[in-house]
Chain A
Amino acid sequence: MLTIDNLHVTYGNVVALRGVSLEVGEGEIVAVIGPNGAGKSTLLLTAAGLVRPRTGSVAFDGRSVASLQPEALVASGLSLVPEGRHIFGSLSVAENLALGATVRHDRAEIARDVERVLTMFPVLRDRYRQRSGKLSGGEQQMLAIGRAMLARPRLLLLDEPSLGLAPLVVEQVYAAIQELRRSGVTVLVVEQNASRALAAADRTYVLNTGVVRLTGRSDDIRGTPAFEAAYFGVQAGAAG
């Protein structure tokens, strides 16, 4: 569904990604984990069309995204919940959700989907008319996910959804991610929180300093020395 091939991304003379290749199949949950500065956000921003690669390619549904604007990608079924949630704090919860449906025009279905989000995250129903800037971090994350759901994405990209949240809230967020998958949404999630992401994902990539250091089924790599080495930056061979 998403095919990233030999991606190089630079900001001025800072190299963020150096030859990353990655594949997400339909119906999968795939995690990319890595320490701060590894290039995880850059990867997602490039996939979403907001950052342009120097070389390499991103294809969504077999179609290159190189010439597509982010807003066109949303319309074709790819949504990103960026790091830091970026809800529109001056707007109400209702308005944030309405904006999520910007690319759609099926009023009745949109209303049904809003109802679905409010059932999934009941706190949002209680605060529906309030300024969303007043929500707690966890509530904002739920709103950000709900807003993305309203575009009816087939592929959802999530950048550190657990960042700064209490453990109980993290569980709620991940329960929502599992529910989305059951409803047919493919998920690519990026985390520093390695254990949480490994538990949720079918497959995991470990990214460090702009390079994929390790990849495999999450169950196979969890807790292995190779995983530790890849995540903490020590070259596998040099560890012993």
Chain B
Amino acid sequence: MEFLQNAIDAISLGAVYALAALGIGLIFSIMRLINFAHGELIMAGGFTLYTLAGQPLLVLILAALIVTAILALGMERIAFRPLRKANPATLLIASFAVSYLVQHTVLLLYGSRAMGVPFLADLSTSLEFGGLRVPRLQLVTIGVTLLLMGGLFAFFRYSRTGLQMRAAAEDFNMARLVGVRANRVIAFAFAISGGLACMVSFYLVAQTGSVSYKMGVSMVLIAFVSSVVGGMGSIVGAALGGFLVGIISVSLQAYLPVDLRPYRDAFVFLIFILFLFWKPEGLMKTRADRERV
């Protein structure tokens, strides 16, 4: 019974990590950019909820989605598009700069204290199934994640734009040579990653009941680790990596000796480093470093 309880915890946390990792992995697969400012997209979703607190749920959700998508598109347009031909290190540094800029803008506007936000409070109660107590938030998280992933899968598999994005992820210049519009697929990737970040912020705000200007930072690290575990550049790999890291985190939380549990994340990163010795290219092989046109 305890095992089942842990399994549900692991899957729901893994689902959140998978959504965050997908956002990072999608941008990397197309642009070779590790977007550390993804954490600030998550944070922007949270602050939209804070700013509009009291509005109807649907308004909150739509507003947060619009804000994160616009912020994601804005980052691309202003910071990353001019650097598209730059090397990955330059792009990475640019993403740190964007992350810092957005964080400190929010710090100026809202201050540094964490602020309470009532959001989806009725999901904090638990359902009981014969001795098993499952928070509604976990069930909703798992359900929404599965729906989103199914939707994304169908989009990539069956739509014209999805096919173009897969082609661009495999060989960007060749995709342009068959007529795929670079700006369009990259904008699509950023808009989707903004939407994914927003879903993560819904979870974080509902879970913690608060927002702060640093709320995206640890999540983006986990997301980065997850997408590396999955295989940088593989979209399926990112999702898989997220679930795996979630499962490991929850297992450590449950089975580490009590006095070591506060250091759970340190153990996660330790396992990550060991994993890299074993499989530096991640679980899913990609053509990320294949020769391009």
Docked Cα-Cα span, A91 to B287, in Å, equals: 12
Residue of B nearest to A84 (CB): B291
Asked whether B32 is an interface residue with its Cβ less than 8 Å from the other chain, the reply is: no
Asked whether B180 is an interface residue with its Cβ less than 8 Å from the other chain, the reply is: yes
B134-193 with Cβ < 8 A to chain A: 160, 163-164, 166-167, 170-171, 173-182
Chain A residues, CB < 8 A from B291:
84
Asked whether A201 is an interface residue with its Cβ less than 8 Å from the other chain, the reply is: no
Docked Cα-Cα span, A84 to B171, in Å, equals: 12
- Which of A69, A91, A100, A103 is in CB contact (< 8 Å) with B170? A91
Docked Cα-Cα span, A88 to B179, in Å, equals: 14
Further contacts, 10 of them, CB under 8 A, given A45-B293, A69-B182, A148-B178: A50-B177, A69-B176, A71-B180, A74-B178, A80-B177, A88-B170, A89-B170, A95-B166, A98-B163, A99-B163
Pair B179/A103 contact, Cβ less than 8 Å: yes
Docked Cα-Cα span, A100 to B160, in Å, equals: 12
Pair B177/A48 contact, Cβ less than 8 Å: yes
Pair B180/A86 contact, Cβ less than 8 Å: no
Pair B287/A90 contact, Cβ less than 8 Å: yes
How close is A23's CB to chain B, nearest CB, in angstroms? 23
Asked whether A163 is an interface residue with its Cβ less than 8 Å from the other chain, the reply is: no
- Which of B160, B174, B176, B181 is in CB contact (< 8 Å) with A88? B174
Asked whether A46 is an interface residue with its Cβ less than 8 Å from the other chain, the reply is: no
Q: Specify the main secondary structure of chain B where it touches its partner.
A: helix
A190-220 with Cβ < 8 A to chain B: none
Given contacts A50-B173, A91-B170, contact A71 B163 (CB under 8 A): no
Chain B residues, CB < 8 A from A45:
293
Q: B265-293 interface mask toward A, CB cutoff 8 Å, 1 = contact, 0 = none?
A: 00000000000000000000001000111
Asked whether A186 is an interface residue with its Cβ less than 8 Å from the other chain, the reply is: no
Pair B167/A70 contact, Cβ less than 8 Å: no
Docked Cα-Cα span, A95 to B178, in Å, equals: 12
Asked whether A79 is an interface residue with its Cβ less than 8 Å from the other chain, the reply is: yes
- Which of A74, A89, A90, A95 is in CB contact (< 8 Å) with B177? A74
Docked Cα-Cα span, A72 to B36, in Å, equals: 32
Docked Cα-Cα span, A45 to B177, in Å, equals: 10
Pair A74/B179 contact, Cβ less than 8 Å: yes
How close is A175's CB to chain B, nearest CB, in angstroms? 23
Pair A50/B176 contact, Cβ less than 8 Å: yes
Pair B179/A91 contact, Cβ less than 8 Å: no
Q: A71-107 interface mask toward B, CB cutoff 8 Å, 1 = contact, 0 = none?
A: 1001100011010101011110001001110110000
Chain A residues, CB < 8 A from B180:
71, 99, 102
Docked Cα-Cα span, A45 to B174, in Å, equals: 11
Pair B178/A91 contact, Cβ less than 8 Å: no
Given contacts A82-B293, A84-B291, contact A90 B166 (CB under 8 A): yes
Chain B residues, CB < 8 A from A80:
177
Chain A residues, CB < 8 A from B177:
48, 50, 70, 74, 79-80, 82, 86
Asked whether A151 is an interface residue with its Cβ less than 8 Å from the other chain, the reply is: yes
28 pairs of residues in contact across A and B, judged by CB atoms under 8 Å:
A45-B293, A50-B177, A50-B293, A69-B176, A69-B181, A69-B182, A71-B181, A74-B178, A75-B179, A80-B177, A84-B291, A86-B171, A88-B166, A89-B170, A89-B287, A90-B170, A95-B163, A95-B166, A95-B167, A99-B167, A99-B175, A99-B180, A100-B178, A102-B160, A102-B178, A102-B179, A103-B178, A147-B178
Pair A99/B170 contact, Cβ less than 8 Å: no
Chain A residues, CB < 8 A from B173:
50, 70
Chain B residues, CB < 8 A from A98:
160, 163
Docked Cα-Cα span, A65 to B293, in Å, equals: 19
Chain B residues, CB < 8 A from A79:
177-178
Pair A71/B179 contact, Cβ less than 8 Å: yes
- Which of B166, B174, B181, B287 is in CB contact (< 8 Å) with A82? B174
Docked Cα-Cα span, A82 to B172, in Å, equals: 13
Docked Cα-Cα span, A236 to B88, in Å, equals: 46
Chain A residues, CB < 8 A from B171:
86, 88
Docked Cα-Cα span, A99 to B173, in Å, equals: 13
How close is B173's CB to chain A, nearest CB, in angstroms? 6
- Which of A91, A100, A147 is in CB contact (< 8 Å) with B166? A91
How close is B28's CB to chain A, nearest CB, in angstroms? 16
How close is A99's CB to chain B, nearest CB, in angstroms? 5
Instruction: Determine which residue in B164, B179, B181 has the highest number of CB atoms from chain A within 10 A of its CB, and name it.
Output: B179
Chain A residues, CB < 8 A from B179:
71, 74-75, 102-103, 151
How close is A102's CB to chain B, nearest CB, in angstroms? 4
* Minimum-distance CB pairs A-B, first 10: A103-B179, A74-B179, A102-B179, A86-B174, A70-B176, A82-B293, A71-B179, A99-B178, A71-B181, A88-B170
Residue of B nearest to A147 (CB): B178
